[in-house]
Amino acid sequence: MSYIDWYEKHAVKHKKIIDKLTAQGYGKEQIIEYFEYENMAKNEKEFCPLYERGDKCHDTDYLNCYFCACPHFRFKDDGVEKIGSKTKYSFCSIESKNGAEGVYGDAIHQDCSKCLVPHTKKYVTKNFDLSWKKVMSDCQL
Ligand code: SF4
Q: Is the dihedral of CA 76, 111, 123, 7 positive or negative?
A: positive
Q: Is the dihedral of CA 27, 9, 77, 97 positive or negative?
A: positive
pTM: 0.94
**Amino acid 1: pLDDT:** 87
Say if CB 13 and CB 35 are below 8 A apart. Answer: no
3-state helix, strand, coil in the chain (%, to 5): 40, 20, 40
Ligand 1: centre distance to CA 119 (Å):
9
**Amino acid 87: pLDDT:** 97
Mean pLDDT, consecutive 10-residue stretches, the chain (141 aa), reads 96 98 98 98 97 96 97 97 97 97 97 97 98 97 97
Name the residue with the closest Cα to ligand 1, atom 1: 65
Question: How far is 69 from 82, CA to CA, in rounded Å?
Answer: 24
Query: Residues with beta carbon inside 6 Å of ligand 1?
Result: 37, 47-48, 50, 56-57, 65, 68, 119
Ligand 1: centre distance to CA 68 (Å):
6
> Helix or strand or coil: residue 10?
helix
DSSP one-letter code for 140: B
